[in-house]
Amino acid sequence: MSTIRLQGGRLYDPTHGIDGVVRDLVLRDGRIVDLPAHEAVDQTIDVTGCIVMAGGIDMHTHIAGGKMNLARLMLPEDHRRGFDPAPLPLNPLELASCGHCAPGTLQTGYSYVKMGYTSAFEPAMAASNARHTHLEMGDVPILDHGAYVMLGNDELLLDMMTRQQPIERIRDYMAWTIHATKALGVKVVNPGGISAFKFNQRRLDVDEAHTHWSVTPRQILQTLARCLQDLGIPHPLHIHTSNLGVPGNIASTLNTIEALEGLPAHLTHVQFHSYGKEGPHKFSSAAVELAEAVNRHANISVDVGQVMFGQTVTISGDTMRQWANAPAGSPRKFGGADIECDAGCGVVPFQYREKSYVNALQWSIGLELFLLIDDPWRVVLTTDHPNGGPFGSYPHLIRLLMDKAFRDEQLARLHPDVAAHAPLREIRRELTLYEIAILTRAGPARLLGLSDKGHLGAGAAADVAVYRVQDDIEAMFTTPAYVFKDGLLVAQAGEIVATPTGGVHFAEPDFDPSIGKTLQSYARRHLTVNPAHAVIGHDELCSCGRGGRLLPTACFPTSPLAA
């Protein structure tokens, strides 16, 4: 492979504390290398006056799995020419694909890459749907990818906990699940709540008992977080907390942080979990409370799940909460599913409106969280695509975070009660390019344990985005001048110029294989699938990923595992 020198760019590489330093960057054999200035290269690209960052990493975006397909089915209008704001691709490298809030797999890859993103992670893979998820992610061109498997509502785990099985057995079951589904991490959605919904519970707070299994969300959180830590999985428990979207849910969110007792954890789409119930509308911002809690707890990281105005579709494993949200659907549709006593989902199309008090406040709460959490390494830029809005809105969101005057202008257009009283009005902070590089690359790479991603040091994957400096930050981040994936130029000035196949990240924890007996006996009584057939091997994973590279992540167990 050729050696490329990017000459004269201004580098933002927070992993190495590099903040806008003018320096050449050399890409060789898919990696970033140290090469003395006098050594010859095959190609030199002049990027003088441009900003150079590692490729963007979206650590929470619903790009695959059953839910996104249901959303595509429910929103045919999203796939109609003319509805999509993007023009028809005239580039022969781009196969026909479209969609905005529920894009096709091809469109997903093209759109991310054109924006300078090179990795994306599906956060809610149902274990029994893992094959489909890998096939669908593998169909997304260019992007490296991976998925977090859902646990915490599966009947086997709840059954093991109710019968007070030793934590080592539960840990083996978790490790087997990660191994079988080739997951990178574990997500828990509304701990116990998806299961409780099937037993006619319509809410489940952190210390409320499941009517059938008698366990509480607190116990589930502690069990899962501890097992993951013991297994040495780099990404800690990924938590969608109880009571999504409910006014006053800040209490459950703070209780969840406290329930973790210092164990590392990642709280996802926290915007949807930072609501008070003050004021005439009985719905208020609790961003200050959550930000203070995150600032105090170094074990907690978050992604925001920012709300952006316009049409989207909400897709969540949280059947309980999506059932409650169904009447607000626009267009008025709802789909729900449950699979193999394992996990559920609910799909509700939705329009976020500037003049809606609730939506305007949600928008404001998200921005407040970004700006009030002190440590940028523990807050990640997401819209929970497509739940808060499609990922294509990231450049606009970056401008909102970097430009107080622009933010105020937008705020003034919102529902008058929000425009007049939102705590956001008083926040003067404007994020810097260095901080944006943390929120969109360096931070998520570190939180996922991807040591060769998210930075520009020698040995890193040569995933690089080069942005031509413009006064309009939104325009700058919308269309990078150059995007490289593993050292190959894949996009130039908004055009796809190559479509390599991305790789798949997954974790490989150790476990005691005798857990297989438990799985077999449970499956015989309750499931349709033989667990021996559920395991996705390396060859199959490779073929699911259309031959893309397998990228296993090292595990560092903190406690001795069963031999």
Q: In the bound complex, what is the minimum distance in angstroms from residue 187's beta carbon to Zn ion?
A: 7
- CB-wise, 240 or 485, nearer to Zn ion? 240
User: Does residue 67 belong to the site contacting Zn ion (CB under 5 A)?
Assistant: no
Retrieve residue 364's tokens. Answer: 């404001």
Q: In the bound complex, what is the minimum distance in angstroms from residue 269's beta carbon to Zn ion?
A: 6
**Site pattern 239..278 for Zn ion (x: CB under 5 A):** -x--------------------------------------
- CB-wise, 322 or 479, nearer to Zn ion? 322
Q: In the bound complex, what is the minimum distance in angstroms from residue 85's beta carbon to Zn ion?
A: 23
Q: What is the 3-state secondary structure of 93-124? A: CCCCCCCCCCCCHHHHHHHHHHCCEEEEEEEE
- CB-wise, 230 or 384, nearer to Zn ion? 384
Q: How far apart are CA 537 and CA 543, in angstroms?
A: 10
Binding-site member from 122, 368, 384, 474 for Zn ion (CB under 5 A): 384
- CB-wise, 325 or 479, nearer to Zn ion? 325
Give residue 413's identity as a one-letter amino acid code.
Answer: R
Q: How far apart are CA 307 and CA 271, in angstroms?
A: 8
Residues 433-492 binding Zn ion (CB under 5 A) are none
Q: In the bound complex, what is the minimum distance in angstroms from residue 15's beta carbon to Zn ion?
A: 26
Question: Which of the 8 DSSP states describes residue 441?
Answer: I
| Residue 386, preceding peptide bond in cis (omega within 30° of 0) | yes
C-alpha distances out from residue 138 to 319, 409, 446, 452, Å: 26, 41, 23, 21
Q: How far apart are CA 234 and CA 224, in angstroms?
A: 14
Q: Binding residues for Zn ion, how many (CB under 5 A)?
A: 2
User: Please, which residues bridge with residue 485 across strands?
Assistant: 488
Q: In the bound complex, what is the minimum distance in angstroms from residue 44's beta carbon to Zn ion?
A: 42
Cβ atoms of 112 and 86 closer than 8 Å: no
- CB-wise, 269 or 453, nearer to Zn ion? 269
Q: In the bound complex, what is the minimum distance in angstroms from residue 315's beta carbon to Zn ion?
A: 8
Q: Is the dihedral of CA 294, 150, 106, 309 positive or negative?
A: negative
Residues 76-135 binding Zn ion (CB under 5 A) are none
Question: Which of the 8 DSSP states describes residue 461?
Answer: B
Q: In the bound complex, what is the minimum distance in angstroms from residue 533's beta carbon to Zn ion?
A: 28
* H/E element, 148: strand 144-150
- CB-wise, 58 or 368, nearer to Zn ion? 58
Whole-number CA gyration radius for the chain:
23
C-alpha distances out from residue 259 to 170, 416, 437, Å: 19, 38, 31
Q: Which residues contact 134 (CB under 8 A, 6 or more apart)?
A: 64, 147, 182, 504, 536, 541, 544, 545
Q: In the bound complex, what is the minimum distance in angstroms from residue 385's beta carbon to Zn ion?
A: 8
Q: In the bound complex, what is the minimum distance in angstroms from residue 233's beta carbon to Zn ion?
A: 19
Per DSSP, the three-state class of 10 is strand
Which residue's C-beta sits nearest to Zn ion? 240
Q: In the bound complex, what is the minimum distance in angstroms from residue 238's beta carbon to Zn ion?
A: 9
Q: In the bound complex, what is the minimum distance in angstroms from residue 61's beta carbon to Zn ion?
A: 8
Tracing tokens 């699938």 back to the chain, one arrives at 529
Per DSSP, the three-state class of 471 is coil
Cβ atoms of 348 and 106 closer than 8 Å: no
- CB-wise, 134 or 240, nearer to Zn ion? 240
Window contacting Zn ion (CB under 5 A); options: 10-18, 232-240, 482-490, 517-525: 232-240
Q: Is the dihedral of CA 80, 83, 84, 89 positive or negative?
A: positive
Q: In the bound complex, what is the minimum distance in angstroms from residue 220's beta carbon to Zn ion?
A: 15
Retrieve residue 549's tokens. Answer: 């590279």
Window contacting Zn ion (CB under 5 A); options: 173-181, 352-360, 379-387, 392-400: 379-387
- CB-wise, 60 or 134, nearer to Zn ion? 60
Per DSSP, the three-state class of 291 is helix
Window contacting Zn ion (CB under 5 A); options: 13-21, 81-89, 139-147, 235-243: 235-243
- CB-wise, 303 or 435, nearer to Zn ion? 303
- CB-wise, 123 or 545, nearer to Zn ion? 123
- Please report the DSSP string for 253-278 in residue order: HHHHHHHTTT--EEE-SGGGG-EE--
- CB-wise, 260 or 523, nearer to Zn ion? 260
- CB-wise, 132 or 468, nearer to Zn ion? 132
- Interacting residues toward Zn ion by CB under 5 A: 240, 384
